[in-house]
Copies of this chain bind each other. A is one copy, B any other.
Amino acid sequence: MIHAILLYEDNKLLRESVCSLLGMADEYEIKGAFADCSLVEKQVALHNPDVILMDIDMPGVNGIEAVKKIRAFNQSAQIIMLTVFDDSEHVFNALRAGANGYLLKKDISDKLIDSIDEILTGGAPMSPVIARMVINSMQQQQKVRDNYKLTRREGDVLHLLSKGNSVKMIANALGVSIDTVRTHTKNIYDKLHVNSQTEAVSKALNEKLV
């Protein structure tokens, strides 16, 4: 089966080199190669591509915005970002917007074909350094966790608080008096250096304490 591909890349040289790279593989067909995203919705709707290769930094509509526009009506196209940006801001915004893979331009010649294969079989191709960033972002969260030395019971209370439970509900759930829960929350406030339920929950969730 031949897979349809759309390419968005404002740099003419790179656009053409990607085209010729893919031209050599006869299981792919480039249905279009565009220098900007002004008509991205129509183009995607028209060609219904299997894979979209999307630059981020383009004049007019940038690639991340384009991804959002595409995802508003199409969830099936597989989108790989092709870009020079390896900062977390760009990476996470692109992935959150709905991109399925993220290749740095320096890896294109090496890995583009493999990445397209991979994305079509359900994978999520990423440049190694990008993959590491994604993993790191998950781990950073965890690290803060062990630093407050909550007791088991305090942990229970904070957990329930973070689920949106009121003190009354927690007392009921744990089978203790409201005042007991209050004592625990006070101790939690001390340990987290906060002084309200909302702040505790905010800190707990923002730092993945629960």
Contacts and interface: CB of A to CB of B under 8 A. Distances in A.
Q: Quick one: copies of this chain in the complex? A: 2
Contact of A201 (B101, B123, B205): B205
Contacts of A139: 95-96, 98
Interface residues of A, number: 41
Nearest to A197: B198
What DSSP secondary structure best describes chain A's contact surface? helix
B198 A100 contact: no
A98 B145 CA distance: 13
Contacts of A100: 132, 135
Contacts of A126: 131
Contacts of A121: 128
Interface string A92-107: 1001111011000000
Interface of A: 92, 95-98, 100-101, 118, 121-129, 131-132, 134-135, 138-139, 141-142, 161-166, 194, 196-199, 201-203, 205-206
